Chain A
Amino acid sequence: MKVLSAAVLKPAFFWLLSLLLSSLVWFIAVKASNEKDAELQKSLIIFGVMFSVLLQEVFRFAYYKLLRKANEGLAALSEDGKSPLSVQQMAYVAGLGFGIMSGAFSVVNILAGSVGPGTVGIFRDSQYYFLTSAFMTMAIILLHTFWSVLFFDGFENKRWVAVVAVIATHLLVSGLTFLNPVYEGSLIPAFVIMVLMAAWAYFTAGGSLQNLQHFFMCKENK
């Protein structure tokens, strides 16, 4: 347990690296372009977002590779040839790390701003800015967790559908946020996708409807 809790830092670091690289690329693009052209800047930021999503997935894969290697090393050293952590546990922790870092970076400045004096939406922006930011962040954190579970499992068991689905839905969810502030277009699909991913990840991790039933009925799993 303790090992797992400390292990959340490493995927967070990887996510941070991916963010760093993608912002570097975006920054260079912005500096090389005409800063006054609003349309161009908008398309540059869209490009930045897409590139960042792809880079995050690349880093997720890189982290997977790293974990595999470390796990194999641990397994070789241990007494019974099995590693102390299963792939699924690693996937969960990785997803959690990614999600927490992603969520923190998205929301912490907004939180800091929400404390101070001000009026939301005074310049004709949406009044629900803080609320929707909070919900979106929550969705993103959970989504990252589920995506990692699916992603790792896809690579473990060579199920490429899962991998492609993860990348596609990540792009989709990010892309939908371009519709903000029309929150119906971005929040609701994000939550729907989250529920879908949750179910898929649950079944991938070995859960079943029976387990669910037992859980809710507080029955023992015999």
Chain B
Amino acid sequence: MISSDSEDELYTERTALMSANASTAPSYQDRDGAPSPTNVQANRRRSAARRPANPVEGRVGAEGGPASRDGGGEGEEEEEEELILKYGAKHVIMLFVPVTLCMAVVVVTIKSVSFYTEKDGQLIYTPFTEDTDSVGRRLLNSILNTLIMISVIVVMTIILVLLYKYRCYKFIHGWLILSSLLLLFLFTYIYLGEVFKTYNVAMDYPTLILIIWNFGAVGMVCIHWKGPLQLQQAYLIMISALMALVFIKYLPEWSAWVILGAISVYDLIAVLCPKGPLRMLVETAQERNEPIFPALIYSSTMVWLVSMAKRDVDTEEHLSKTCNADNYPEVEVEANNHAVQGLADVSDMPQTQIQGVHHSAAGGEELEEEKGVKLGLGDFIFYSVLVGKAAAGASGDWNTTLACFIAILIGLCLTLLLLAVFKKALPALPISITFGLVFYFSTDNLVRPFMDTLASHQFYI
């Protein structure tokens, strides 16, 4: 299935960045039946398609929209710049909504369901306890926890890269399916159970089984196969939120903060260094002209080229509604740490990848461009972990949560700006997490007493 996929995909690429993964997935709306995308694509692609953008974890790829304009002979610098800025703004919004939704779900759950703030033990990945007598010991333990966690992640990433390199796609696919099964069924079951307990809702097992079965089955289909774009996006947001909640529950306080910091550094290294695993993954995928793993990447638009020959279809609509691809056989392994020990452990990958997807749709003589961005689910998870920890933190202050939320979004904005400027895959974690951490600690320690004093006297600034 890989080979067919690779033929199916045409990628538009403007610069040496990854992104634009235009896959002519035979969308379920495809009236043709079996598309022979290759030929169609060949006609379609105007720009020098080169590589598939692969949303490798930890990368932010910018798609050069103007690339398609080159064919049209309009590839002027300024126009491209303007397009970049314009689409940059659009990309920003396209990512703000899902990130905000994910964070909102996590914060609301943390504030209402007390299960996720209770301390019920720790994961095996963070074996050192934080219930120690001295501050120094606690710090040491959290650093050791971080080291273990990060090494697990690094090892998993390397394993993934090796598997990918040696084309063990079935293994990767199986691994991914297992992890999404776990998330969609087990974690949802636990989550629902806790929510029902909090609101004292009476529920019987048959109904519960029905709900969870439907939820999980539709989720599996949507994420790994075909489904409406928005449903897929919703499912990805939900599983990110569930994963983030698990992290928030099982990571001890100080370890969580140190881990967040360390993961951003790792992300930076893995994506930007020439020998970084994520970068190698991306490059390998590019060499093979293969698409990005869809199951672990959030994509704002899955736009597939529609065969030009079919004029009866409104290409615009097609572009926005096509489903996610079926021909993404290899899905990125989003290793999630499982709370349940003994399960096949999957490491957590900071998949920060934002890629611009560029597609050209043909409509008559002109080609229109549709751009989208892709962001790795690991990014969603870690952003939500940061905000969730801020909400769950000792003071439970809403100002701190708000400040972290704004900081993360601004970091995302800046990253997208850099993406538009550099046009290559960039790590989306470092800037946002740095801002988030800075704002968390400063708001919690400096702003909170100030605002509390103001509020108690009812002074306004």
B is a partner of A: yes
Q: Contact flags (1/0) for B392-433 with A, using CB distance below 8 Å?
A: 000001110011001101100100000000000000000000
Are B450 and A12 in contact (CB-based, < 8 A)?
no
Are A49 and B446 in contact (CB-based, < 8 A)?
no
Are B439 and A49 in contact (CB-based, < 8 A)?
no
**B452 (CB) vs chain A CBs: closest residue:** A109
Are A174 and B459 in contact (CB-based, < 8 A)?
yes
Q: Any chain B CB within 8 A of the CB of A88?
A: no
Q: Contact flags (1/0) for A120-135 with B, using CB distance below 8 Å?
A: 0000000001001100
Q: How far is the CA of A24 from the CA of B441 in the complex (A)?
A: 12
Are B458 and A133 in contact (CB-based, < 8 A)?
yes
**A50 (CB) vs chain B CBs: closest residue:** B461
**B91 (CB) vs chain A CBs: closest residue:** A6
Are B413 and A53 in contact (CB-based, < 8 A)?
no
Shortest distance between the CB of A181 and any CB in chain B (Å): 7
Shortest distance between the CB of A194 and any CB in chain B (Å): 13
Q: Any chain B CB within 8 A of the CB of A160?
A: no
Are B406 and A74 in contact (CB-based, < 8 A)?
no
Shortest distance between the CB of A121 and any CB in chain B (Å): 12
User: Known: A2-B90, A77-B82, A101-B406. Contact between A109 and B397, CB under 8 A?
Assistant: yes
Q: Which residues of the other chain, B, contact A20 by a CB distance below 8 angstroms?
A: 439, 442-443, 446-447
Q: How far is the CA of A116 from the CA of B93 in the complex (A)?
A: 35
Are A45 and B399 in contact (CB-based, < 8 A)?
no
**A12 (CB) vs chain B CBs: closest residue:** B406
Q: How far is the CA of A22 from the CA of B450 in the complex (A)?
A: 9
Q: Any chain B CB within 8 A of the CB of A27?
A: yes
Q: Any chain A CB within 8 A of the CB of B273?
A: no
Q: Any chain A CB within 8 A of the CB of B133?
A: no
Are A140 and B460 in contact (CB-based, < 8 A)?
yes
Q: Any chain B CB within 8 A of the CB of A78?
A: yes
User: Known: A2-B89, A6-B92, A133-B458. Contact between A23 and B446, CB under 8 A?
Assistant: yes
Are B406 and A174 in contact (CB-based, < 8 A)?
no
Are A77 and B461 in contact (CB-based, < 8 A)?
no
Q: Which residues of the other chain, B, contact A13 by a CB distance below 8 angstroms?
A: 406-407, 410
Are A173 and B89 in contact (CB-based, < 8 A)?
no
- A→B interface (CB under 8 Å): 2-3, 5-7, 9-10, 12-13, 16, 19-20, 22-24, 26-27, 30, 45, 48-49, 52-53, 56, 74, 77-79, 101-102, 104-106, 108-112, 129, 132-133, 136-137, 140, 173-174, 177-178, 180-181
- B→A interface (CB under 8 Å): 78-79, 81-82, 85-86, 89-90, 92-93, 96, 397-399, 402-403, 406-407, 409-410, 413, 439, 442-443, 445-447, 449-455, 457-461
20 A-B pairs within 8 Å (CB atoms) are namely A3-B86, A6-B96, A9-B413, A19-B447, A22-B450, A24-B442, A24-B446, A27-B450, A52-B461, A56-B461, A77-B82, A105-B451, A108-B399, A109-B397, A109-B452, A109-B455, A132-B458, A174-B461, A177-B459, A181-B458
